[in-house]
Chain A
């Protein structure tokens, strides 16, 4: 296990490095003139050049990357073009808001997805299975804003039960109210994926030899399901779900924009529209790093659940 953890950590560092290169490359090599982008098409060339010099965007690529990554590692992502303040003044608050939404979503979607997937697996090949699978798949590729629009229309506009925008603030009750609609939106998109994982895991456990043995030695069906099938299918399923968190993080972008929810997603989409490159790079890098840490933790969990890896036997 120790060797595996070390190897996996090493890979994560390399991946993080590649990620930082990708973010930097995409965001700063291609724009042409940053000064021109900020000042617009009507500014004269001299002031564009002057601004470019001030921003330090004229140096060679490697030098600019080195400057960016060294300050990024100390938590300094530069100043936002738009707000003229350090990017890090904005990211922590937005991150907290996004985490609240992510946690609220997971609280709803993980039990629901596992329940749906397990149910589908037990009805494998029957109508209920097909319905859950197709509905889940369709919801998974229906853009978040389509589902969100329907929810806003019904629950905020027509019925007036829930607020349709804002960021959690004030009492716990108020915060939960604000979170419900965006969390359900994200749930709809994630449900199909999660239930598919749970379904596959359950089917694998159902077809395993130990399940057959348990059935053949005359255990009641309920006991077989509880003790042999679910116990073996749940944890791996949860681990696999955790490794796909980038899906949830991507969903934040659109969902937060729709609900005017001041999290990282809205920060990024505003920065993209306003071409606020430092803000954009900082926020995307943070999301990428978080996503990578989650994937790492999930992989370690999967490995720990697998005795062959945990006990260090060679393949």
Chain B
């Protein structure tokens, strides 16, 4: 909810494709080149790909069964102790394998929720920015009310009321992010709306939906991509927070937030490895997403 109010946020797409001297393909190649030369971007992508791989095929990375419990191994210390690379938790499960398997839940929920939110945001934002008027006013008021509440609170209300299944949490975060993304899209659309190409399309008698989706949308794509990457970070943040409060994941799930919630009292017995490693995994993921978001934003902002 924060990013939309930042003064230096891009509100207009620089529309590189319309620069006269270069073809769209050349511009794309140049942008790709710039990204690939950015070390922070590469680092971010590598970390994200690692967690994506863990989410898809955790069995190739983890060396033990994360669900297997062996009470005799309770709180086995790290590192590389009796085949337990990062020690064992209070139930005698392997911490390393649980961290690897724990990537799956968040790597499904966060991207899926962000995609849903972005789609909602595009449709809402385009309609609000293009039609303005009463529709814009009413939706803006509702968005304002929603945004005065912390996202995690509304999500918590909804998850308490509905079931805490994976689909629910995806939909809840997606629907909450939709209006936030819509604000960014709306601002971009408003600055595009009065440009000549929109006027021309209107004079040609194009339909509204065609102008919105075929004429304006490609030109506001930059800010949408930036918003998507930033929101992805917040989706991870929100989902992890909910899991930590004990919502949205099954008890005993290897999910990082859930694990930290369940293991946090072990800290006081000087057992730090059961919480520290999932915490570091989570931190590495959000930092990686941010590095990518920062690089993409820097590219589109110029």
Contacts and interface: CB of A to CB of B under 8 A. Distances in A.
Interface of A: 11, 14-16, 18-19, 22-23, 26-31, 133-134, 137-138, 140-146, 149-150, 152-153, 157, 164, 193, 196-197, 200-201, 203-204, 240, 243-244, 246-247, 249-251, 253-254, 257-258, 268-269, 271-273, 275, 277, 280-281, 284, 287-288, 291-292, 295
A28 B158 CA distance: 10
B279 A145 contact: yes
B69 interface: no
Contact of A143 (B7, B141, B151, B244): B244
B159 interface: yes
Interface of B: 1-2, 5-8, 40, 141-142, 144-154, 156-162, 233-234, 236-237, 240-241, 244-247, 257, 260-261, 264, 267-268, 270, 272, 275-276, 279-280, 282-283, 286-287, 289-291, 293-294
Given A133-B294, A273-B247, A284 B161 contact: no
B153 A284 contact: yes
Given A14-B141, A143-B237, A244-B2, A269 B160 contact: no
Contacts of B149: 19, 22, 246, 284, 287-288, 291
Given A150-B276, A254-B152, A292-B148, 4 more contacts: A15-B144, A27-B157, A141-B237, A149-B279
Contacts of B240: 143, 145-146
Given A153-B272, A253-B153, A272 B247 contact: yes
Q: Which 9 A-B pairs have the closest CB atoms?
A: A250-B150, A18-B145, A30-B161, A141-B233, A146-B279, A143-B240, A138-B287, A200-B7, A269-B245
Given A268-B153, A272-B247, A145 B260 contact: yes
Given A246-B147, A253-B241, A254-B244, A157 B161 contact: no
Contacts of B2: 140, 193, 244, 247
Nearest to A249: B150
Nearest to A152: B267
Nearest to A20: B145
Contact of B156 (A243, A246, A269): A269
A98 to B, nearest CB: 13
B279 A150 contact: yes
Contacts of A254: 152, 241, 244-245
Given A133-B294, A134-B294, A250-B151, A18 B6 contact: no
Contacts of A277: 160-161
Contacts of A193: 2
Contacts of A246: 1, 147-150
Given A11-B141, A19-B148, A30-B161, A253 B237 contact: no
A248 to B, nearest CB: 9
A146 B282 contact: yes
Contacts of A251: 150
Contacts of B141: 11, 14-15, 18
7 contacts: A11-B141, A137-B290, A141-B237, A145-B260, A253-B245, A254-B244, A272-B156
Contact of B267 (A149, A197, A244, A271): A149
A240 B287 contact: no
A134 B279 contact: no
A279 B162 CA distance: 17
B157 A26 contact: yes
A36 to B, nearest CB: 13
A241 B76 CA distance: 46
A15 B141 CA distance: 7
A200 B9 CA distance: 10
A291 B144 CA distance: 12
B247 A142 contact: no
